[in-house]
Every structure is written in structure tokens, then in C-alpha cells.
Amino acid sequence: MSRGWLLQRERGSRFALRLITWIALHLGRASARILLYPICIYFLTFAGRARRASRQYLQRVLGCRANIMHVGHHFHSFAATILDRVFLLTDRYGQFDVCIHGAESILQRVQRKQGCLLLGAHLGSFEIMRTLGIDEAGLPISVLMYEDNAAKTIEIAKALNPELANTVIPIGGVDSLLLVKEKLDQGQLVGLLGDRTLAHDKIVYCSFLGERAVFPAGPMLLAAAVKAPVFLCFGLYRGGNRYEVHCELFAERVDIPRAGSGQELQHWVQRYAERLEHYCRVAPYNWFNFYDFWAAAP
């Protein structure tokens, strides 16, 4: 089912996560990256559901039969971006070669104190855009985040960078929408991801990689409610220490009239799905939804 990611247990004990974090910080990135190979072998061996979902996605995006090497590459890309979060959260940006495309328009909005939504996906590293924006460029960025399904990882992230807690707006809180509106009214940026549905989300069926898939309506309904410009932002991992951050204006304003919300909502979510598909084809091993994304919604 398309909400299957909510049911997946967060793999890895706190000890294992803390161990690789210690190795990364004390022995360096090169030594820590050696551990990515046994980690990937473990997942290839024991994570059958994730392995099948990876192969299903890769066959769609690559247009050919995906073998175990393709899936291993996919897992390795995911593990590499998770490892790099350790260095990003501890301000070790000099280890990365980052090429940024299209951020000028966002910077201009920030200078004018115009709040914007930054809409991403589980594609590459949203973290590299967020941390570089906050710490390097001094941009005021908060993030709407569903924390329950990755509590161990988030716990360690907050231990590495306590200021992280001040930039997170939990999804589903009674005052979440008010907090988002407050940040935007102050001329700040609010980031969120638009490719996973929660338990009670309104959903929209879209064409994605050649077949109908379920996307959440929430991000577009939020954009329509706050009446802020929306930018797409994807931090693509390109291997080694290289990242490409792509930013593009999605809409000056997402307009969804109440009377015609169904058709207008479908239009906006489909546009997002099409742009996501474009970037999945640009960097096919960067999409990290390891569950059956195309399964019918309940």
C-alpha cells in the first residue's frame, strides 16, 4: 500500500547508529565510507521488501531489468547520503563539492522578506540544501517533518546539532499550520517533502513513471492556504563527495478555488509529480522510497 512506509520499522539500533557516527567523526569520512559496503550487503540480504521495491522503481526509471548490482548501487547511494548528514550537521562542509543551480531567485525573495515554501522529496539529500542554507548562507529555514518513523536517526541528529530542534515544525501538531504561517509572514523559508502520504491525508492519483501512483494533497493545500511562492528544491547526490542542488520556481501562488478544488488540486499535484519524475531520471539512484509506491491506496 502507498502508505506502507509508515508501517516499516526503523532499522538499526541506537548503538549501531552511534558507532558509525563515532567512526565518521573520529576516523574520517573515507574510513566511514568503507563501512557502507557491509551495510549494503546486510540490506541486500535481509531487507527483502526494500530490495523488491528498489528493483520495481529502478526498472521503471531505467527502462530495463534491474539486477542485484543496480539495487546495490541504489542502497549505497542512500547509505552515503545518510552518512554525509553526520558531516553536514557538524559543520564540515569543506569535505563536499556542491554545485548549486537556480538559488538566486530564492535569495532575492529572502532579501525582500518574502516567505517561500521549499518543496522537495525523498530524492537525494534535502539535508545538504537545508544545512548549507542555514549555516553557510544564513537563510532562515524551518522544516515540516514527520518524526515518528525515524526517531533514532533524528535523536542522533539533534545530539550532533542541538540547534536542529529549533528549525523543525512537527507534522500533525495542533498549531503546525499557524507556525508555518508565522514563519512565512516573517519572511522565512519553510521546507517540506511532497512524495509520501500520512495515515489521514487527502490523496491524489497522478501519472508517475508510467503508471498511476498516490501522492499527498497536503503540500498543495498548504501552499494554497498560505498563499506563498513555492520553489522545488532537490539535493542530488552525484557520487563521491559531489552534490548538485537544483532549485526552480514551481508557482508564484498555488490557487485552488474551493468550488473547483478537485480539478485544480489534480493539476498542481500532477505538475509536482512530473517535475519529480524529471529529476528521478536525472539521478535515478537518488529516490529513497523503499516501499511499493505504486500499490493502490486503501
Of 127, 144, 134, the C-alpha closest to 110 is 134
Q: Is residue 110 part of a domain?
A: yes
In total, how many domains does the chain have? 1
Residue 5: pLDDT band (50, 70, 90) is: very low
Residue 243 phi, psi (nearest 5): -135, 150
Structural domain for 240, as ranges? 4-286
Q: Is residue 295 part of a domain?
A: no
Instruction: Report how far Cα 5 is from the mean position of its chain's Cα atoms.
Output: 14
Answer whether residue 53 shows pLDDT above 80.
yes
Query: Rounded distance, CA 16 to CA 22, Å?
Result: 10
Q: Is residue 294 part of a domain?
A: no
Query: Rounded distance, CA 150 to CA 155, Å?
Result: 9
Q: Is residue 269 part of a domain?
A: yes
Share of the chain above pLDDT 90, in %: 63
Residue 1: pLDDT band (50, 70, 90) is: very low
Q: Is residue 296 part of a domain?
A: no
pTM of whole model > 0.75? Answer: yes
The 10s digit of each residue's pLDDT in 113-171 is: 999 999 999 999 988 887 777 666 678 899 998 766 556 566 767 777 777 767 888 88
Share of the chain above pLDDT 70, in %: 87
- Report which DSSP code applies to 209: T
Residue 35 in grid coordinates: 563501512
Q: Is residue 60 part of a domain?
A: yes
Answer whether residue 222 shows pLDDT above 60.
yes
Answer whether residue 83 shows pLDDT above 70.
yes
Q: Is residue 102 part of a domain?
A: yes
